[in-house]
Chains A and B, each alone.
Chain A
Amino acid sequence: MEKDLILTNMETLPGHRIVEHLGLVQGNTIRAKHIGRDIMAGLKNIVGGELKGYTELLSEARKEATERMSRQARELGADAIVNIRFATSSVMQGAAELFAYGTAVKLEKE
Chain B
Amino acid sequence: MLEVILIITLVLLLPFVPMFIIWAIGAWGERRHIRRILEREAQFRGFPVSNLKRLPEGAQEAFLASGSVVLSADAWKTMLAGFRKIFGGRFKSIEPVIERARREAILRLLEDARSRGADCVHNVRLETANISNTQSLAVEVIAYGTAVRTRR
**A34-B123 Cα distance, complex, nearest whole Å:** 31
What residues of chain B lie closer than 8 Å to A52, measured between beta carbons? 70
* A: contact size bracket: 20 to 34
Of residues 6 through 62 on chain A, the ones whose CB sits less than 8 Å from some CB of chain B are 6-15, 33-36, 44-52, 54-55, 58-59, 62
User: Are A48 and B77 in contact, with the CB atoms below 8 A?
Assistant: yes
Tell me if A87 is interfacial: C-beta within 8 Å of chain B.
yes
Most buried by A among B55, B133, B146: B146
Interface of A is mostly: mixed
> How many residue pairs bridge A and B at CB < 8 Å?
120
Known contacts: A13-B62, A51-B138. The answer to whether A46 contacts B74 by CB under 8 A is yes
User: Are B138 and A8 in contact, with the CB atoms below 8 A?
Assistant: no
User: Are B29 and A48 in contact, with the CB atoms below 8 A?
Assistant: yes
User: Are B33 and A49 in contact, with the CB atoms below 8 A?
Assistant: yes
Known contacts: A7-B63, A10-B123, A62-B66. The answer to whether A45 contacts B140 by CB under 8 A is no
A14, A55, A86: the one within 8 Å of B127 (CB): A86
Residues of B within 8 A of A (CB): 22, 25-26, 29-30, 33, 53, 55, 59-64, 66, 68-75, 77, 97, 104, 122-123, 125, 127, 129, 131-133, 135-136, 138, 140, 142, 144-146, 148
- Pairs A–B under 8 Å by Cβ, sample size 23: A7-B63, A7-B64, A9-B145, A10-B62, A10-B122, A14-B60, A15-B60, A33-B131, A35-B131, A35-B132, A35-B133, A46-B75, A47-B22, A48-B25, A49-B71, A50-B71, A51-B72, A51-B138, A54-B70, A58-B70, A59-B68, A84-B144, A86-B142
